[in-house]
Amino acid sequence: MFDKFEDECGVFGIYGHPEAANLTYLGLYALQHRGQESCGIVASDGVSLRAYRKNGLVADAFRNNEVFDKLPGQNAIGHVRYSTAGGNDPKNIQPIMVDYVRGSIAVAHNGNLVNAQELRNELEQLGSIFSTVADTEVIMHLLARAQSDSLADRVVDALKRVRGAYSLVFLTETRMVAVRDPNGFRPLILGKLDGAYVVASETCALDLIEAEFVRELDPGEMIVVDKDGLHSYHPLEEAKPSPCIFEYVYFARPDSTIFGREVYGVRKEYGRQLAREYPVDADVVVAIPDSGVPAAIGYAEESGIPFELGLIRNHYVGRTFIEPQQSIRHFGVKIKLNPVREVIEGKRVVVIDDSIVRGTTARKIIKMIRNAGAKEVHVRISSPPTSYPCYYGIDTPTRTELIASTHTIEEINRYVTSDSLGYLSEEGLHKATGSCEGGSCEGQFCTACFSGNYPVKFPRLKADKQLGLF
């Protein structure tokens, strides 16, 4: 709630189930936290592809049951989206579906291609016409130009040209293909349900449809599912795996298991480690709901300070709301959160959240807590300062907008008006995540938003350096 990074996207696919479109709807419902701007499903009946895509939340977009009558077939893929590249224009809603000389194909993409603009410029010079501004369409043009007879080979030929983060699910009339980039930035899970194969961004989607968890796709792995079953390949050039650690910090649902660990347990350990690094004499620990709750529980357990629900979130607030004509100060925060005065009044309060981005919302929430009667407000953040933007599928502000890139921790403390401020250290983050094998706590995850060490380089970084942003 402290000026969050925006979620990226979620993908889902199922092959070989008579209720493919309905199950894809449920899978997207479970992945709604990964994108709230738009959603879509493409289904195959073995002969043709049919699509339904719409702006808005999954439950609203698929409100009419008649939609599923128009999505027949045993195979389907789906997507929930928050725009990282391409804006929120309806034409950019995924899955993207195209017809080309070899038939029809659709794709759902979680991630971001760092060389998309270069490739787009090249393809346009060669005569390609783009109908969206989403970087995902670049992959479709590259695939259409590939000369191989095999679908798998055409996908590989296309992906050998792109750089960046991608967990992709393709669907043709007769096949489903899923592939994860060589760095493994974003999660991609494989499951089974009544003989059907399922892929999803997180295990919570498998849980909802009662599918069996099989495993995660390896970084650089591609699976092809057809009438003959599942085939696994590792056709892409190897890279050092660098899964996004912010999936643990904030993006993934706490009941999911990704990168080999359950998210809830990792976040609780972040809170415990934070209590070891930044203890404070206080009366109560409260969380910024919902993302700060597991870390707050961990902090309370480690410190011995009781955890209470000191801030209540209104779960029925959408992405937009109508403000009253009479101005109410901090209305945007007050409609989402309300303090419990009985918990806070007269208390020294420790407030736990996962991150501070710009600092403006943190300042408003702390004022709200003080107005509820808190004697002291101590802020603890269960991740290091976010000083650098992400270019791998998360919509983050520019570096100049990130408060930690231009202010010291003490300056941030004064700005947000807390009595003290403590961030989890990078070493503590790795230790709590369990990424200190062999005595080293670095290099097993992508921590570019904290460290500025980007696993995949690209031209934009050069431009940012010239602007003095790095």
Annotated binding site for [4Fe-4S] cluster: 244, 390, 446, 449
Residues paired with 217 in a beta bridge: none
C-alpha to C-alpha distance for 178 and 19, rounded to whole angstroms: 20
The residue type at 65: N
C-alpha to C-alpha distance for 451 and 456, rounded to whole angstroms: 14
Of 162, 176, 167, 160, the residue nearest 235 (C-alpha): 160
Please say whether the dihedral angle defined by the alpha carbons of residues 32, 33, 36 and 41, taken in this order, is positive or negative. negative
Of 64, 66, 48, 47, the residue nearest 56 (C-alpha): 64
Active site residue 39: no
Q: Output the known binding site.
A: 244, 291, 353-354, 390, 446, 449
| Catalytic residue selected from 9, 39, 204, 441 | 9
Coil, helix or strand at residue 41: strand
Read off the tokens for 290. Answer: 């919902």
Q: Output the known binding site for Mg(2+).
A: 291, 353-354
Report residue 55: phi and psi, to 5°.
-70, 150
Read off the tokens for 387. Answer: 């000083």
Burial of 118 (0-12, 13-18, 19+ CB in 10 A): middle
C-alpha to C-alpha distance for 220 and 234, rounded to whole angstroms: 6
Residues paired with 109 in a beta bridge: 168
**385 and 428 in contact (C-beta within 8 Å)?**
no
**214 and 190 in contact (C-beta within 8 Å)?**
yes
Preceding peptide of 18 cis, ω within 30°: no
C-alpha to C-alpha distance for 465 and 451, rounded to whole angstroms: 15
C-alpha to C-alpha distance for 117 and 393, rounded to whole angstroms: 15
Residues catalogued as catalytic: 9
